[in-house]
Structure 1
């Protein structure tokens, strides 16, 4: 069999790959080393500015020494109350139980950590701290966490004398919750007695008992309708344990006491500390001044920097003051200011560029603009035509409803009705036959495609993930513990309610959609009932 050369594919010219030699690799590494050295030289060119920059970043991130921690003026009353309770528990060996209530990032855990760290400097071996988080621990894992942290803390205080192996640790965490807490109390009591005997042998003085401080983040997750055994045993330890116990619970629920069972509430001290919020603009300006003011011994540039900050903060027409006022009128949150000030300070090359950046605040405006692009309005611009149609249909149904709720079936029925109404107004042309040629001419269909319900389900899930819809049970405060349990257990609720019957609420209403959607959009007329 012969083959024609013309039918063969053209030959492929292979390009040889040139591998770098050792000399070239060494040249590249030397260049990189040289660049890193140049950057280090440029960074270390002004050690005074480097020390000032480092100190400012430490103050913004909260990594300064504990004795220099910044406590804002509006938080000082809460700090004094927390300090009094902790000192009564550690020094006077009293038992207390307190719940701190406040929104996210309201410095609940921050104040507790600061007070415990300050007290640890003078009374290091007189108390141990056990931290639990409701988002991480369940009731069973919380028991294992308590046993593990007890082992670590007691080893720090007494060394290897109270070392617990894995077998004994499993024995402690096995059994019912009541039995486990009895074992933990016996362990604490025996460890305390051993420490007191050592103190008697060493210097003839008797040491006091060890105080156990529990710090519960998201304590409301343990207050479900299913038996609140963990909280019951913890609060019962406060009332009847021979060892001083202090419990601090942190939550965002204002009605946390309504979640507790009667037996748990009867053992709780009913002491609730509500975290204060920023009330005046002067408090916010004072807080920013505390964050950006540096001690004089940190750097020779500290005096000039403090004068610059004093001038900018005292001038109501300055750009920095304007951004602080904008934050006060919208978020009232220091973390938002910290997030935009941190890269501004970190990217400054010298003292003059830092001062000019603070005065102009151009970076703060860019940061705020970038953050707004992730808002609901920014996400609205990225939606497809079908996603926008479903969103507007859901908003129309929510506006008609008394409680503002809707589900997938109602939203799809509204979408189907609106599409059919538009298609009915589009004129249709019947096929015509050309008498001369005899050819049939068909008109192009200009109607809007009506998607099936099974195809729209993916669109619905996308809108839920983009936070345009929120399940009705996940919005607002709970009336009772059962509602809180259903809201925090999505799988349990999802198995009971079908997908197309779950109730949702809008995060952007129809009037807001009318302002955000351009008039040239084909669905703009849908934004009005």
Structure 2
């Protein structure tokens, strides 16, 4: 029972015990209000009511009745406002719990992630506290909390060891090899300046010559030189930290560098994996402790590393766990939807969620089971239940919305509108014709490569064939009826359609592919990317993301383009 439910029930009990008195008070108030203008000639009914004895042995007056009614009205209003405030506080905390935006010390890790969390925590503590060097690659699908677990542990360690480590974050979708070096240099200088409150200049060798602008930047030169400067900078910063430390911190002489590398597989594509080699080489030979976490979705990530990179890597792989069954998934859903706490409203919400997960006939359970049987994604489930919690006005409303699961079902249906089928169904007739032409050309070609010229020729032939079957007005006048003929658009107009299909990811340029299958594919893709900007628009190589058989299933049979979906 919630706090405000307890208060309301207590009030109801008091009303039941004095129901007769309350009714009489209301009657007295209404009668007195009617006769408020004639005080000298009050009715016998009012006089009789006024003579009723009160708790103190006297009689109720008109002022007593009005005061009593005002107090009860004020009590009901205060009770309702107090309940609303308590519920709003609970709802805000619940939303922050689901979004994982609470302070690090208040976040409860989901049960199926706790073993992985313990392993990551152990590695970080060995690097930060014991000053050891480690490296690991974390493998798991997207939205599987890889980066979250690392950041959560770093926040916890920052509360106790804030001046003993710095964090450098890189992302393979954002940084290339050259921009990654600049990113490391920028973050390193900012972190050291924040750590010690002073600007750290890069130590120079005697033979080093400053650049033309008078500065010796860390990112100048080859990768080997850059990483050598980084190591000397960290070593000098550690010595300064040791010299300026207090008595209790004099034993700390090294600053740990933690690299969090998202999408690390994107740097395994180039033939010379210089960045990865130097990063892993730092772990083996650096004088300062280095800890590297590489996050990827590629299960066979090690197969794409060069031998020299493999020899530097510690071969430690951390795989993100899966759910052992439906019961395990339900337990994690309950942990996701119920924040920690033993207050009455949190306990009531816990009982509601557990009751819904046990009831196999409820709409809530059916949506939960559908998630488990399809994607098994807690982030997707949190997005599905957020509308239920956001629009609820009180705990009863939240319980009703949770049981019906209408918002969850509507959210799932809206997500389906973002799929490939919905995008194809939203195309105009010209866009659909060009897409079918692309799929036909891809099926005819040997390596499934298409370009704009080939697709336009295919589109033009299909349109001519279609117009040839349109009946003429008469045999004597072999002129096609104007309103029945289909217009063949010019090449210039179709270019805009081609760009629209590219924006919708229905066709993609050949170089826009992630990890390569072989070194030859890497070499070809790298050279194509280099020459792609100089290649004419009409001749750029593309891949169709939809096959002709898939289009045949999506395009309705009533469409005039349905016959085009088979060769």
Asked if Structure 1 and Structure 2 have the same fold, meaning a TM-score greater than 0.5 normalized by the shorter chain, the answer is yes
Matched, 1:112 2:156: no
Matched, 1:194 2:240: yes
Matching residue within 245, 248, 251 for 1:206: 251
Q: Structure 2 CA distance, aligned partners of 1:497 and 1:42? A: 70
What CA deviation, in whole Å up to 9, does each residue of 1:88-141 have, x standing for no partner? Answer: 212222111212222221211111111222222333332222222233334344
Q: Residue 88 of structure 2 aligns to a residue in which SS?
A: helix
Aligned to 2:405: 361
Q: Structure 2 CA distance, aligned partners of 1:447 and 1:471? A: 33
Report the CA distance between 1:444 and its aligned residue: 4.1
Aligned pair in 2 of structure 1 residues 353, 403: CA closer, same or farther (>3 Å)?
A: farther
Report the CA distance between 1:501 and its aligned residue: 4.6
Residues matched between the structures, number:
480
Aligned to 1:334: 378
Backbone CA RMSD of aligned residues:
3.4
What CA deviation, in whole Å up to 9, does each residue of 1:345-383 have, x standing for no partner? Answer: 122222111111111111112222222222222222322
Matched, 1:284 2:317: no
Matching residue within 235, 240, 258 for 2:280: 235
Aligned pair in 2 of structure 1 residues 505, 176: CA closer, same or farther (>3 Å)?
A: closer
Aligned to 1:415: 459
Matching residue within 44, 51, 61 for 2:89: 51
Matched, 1:217 2:262: yes
Mapped contact 2:357–2:364 kept (Cα < 8 A): yes
Aligned pair in 2 of structure 1 residues 65, 464: CA closer, same or farther (>3 Å)?
A: same
Aligned to 1:24: none
Aligned to 2:10: none
Matching residue within 115, 130, 136 for 1:92: 130
Matched, 1:121 2:159: yes
Q: Structure 1 CA distance, aligned partners of 2:503 and 2:150? A: 35
Alignment of 1:379-458 (within 5 A): 379-399=423-443, 405-429=449-473, 444=482, 446-458=484-496
Aligned to 1:509: 547
Q: Residue 46 of structure 1 aligns to a residue in which SS?
A: helix
Greater CA radius of gyration, 1 or 2?
2
Mapped contact 2:260–2:293 kept (Cα < 8 A): yes
Q: Please identify, of 413-422 and 185-194, the stretch whose mean Cα deviation from structure 2 is larger.
A: 413-422
Report the CA distance between 1:527 and its aligned residue: 3.1
Q: Structure 1 CA distance, aligned partners of 2:81 and 2:378? A: 29
Mapped contact 1:258–1:480 kept (Cα < 8 A): no
Q: Structure 1 CA distance, aligned partners of 2:99 and 2:295? A: 22
Q: Structure 1 CA distance, aligned partners of 2:531 and 2:321? A: 35
Mapped contact 1:147–1:169 kept (Cα < 8 A): no
Mapped contact 2:139–2:298 kept (Cα < 8 A): yes
Report the CA distance between 1:179 and its aligned residue: 2.8
TM-score if structure 1 supplies the norm length? 0.80
Mapped contact 2:441–2:455 kept (Cα < 8 A): yes
Q: Residue 122 of structure 1 aligns to a residue in which SS?
A: coil
Q: Structure 2 CA distance, aligned partners of 1:206 and 1:288? A: 45
Q: Residue 317 of structure 1 aligns to a residue in which SS?
A: coil
Mapped contact 1:224–1:482 kept (Cα < 8 A): no
What CA deviation, in whole Å up to 9, does each residue of 1:465-499 have, x standing for no partner? Answer: 21222345545752135645766898535247654
Q: Structure 2 CA distance, aligned partners of 1:92 and 1:168? A: 39
Aligned pair in 2 of structure 1 residues 506, 218: CA closer, same or farther (>3 Å)?
A: same
Unaligned runs of 5+ in 1: 1-40, 434-439
Q: Residue 159 of structure 2 aligns to a residue in which SS?
A: helix
Q: Please identify, of 465-474 and 81-90, the stretch whose mean Cα deviation from structure 2 is larger.
A: 465-474
Q: Residue 292 of structure 2 aligns to a residue in which SS?
A: strand
Aligned to 2:18: none
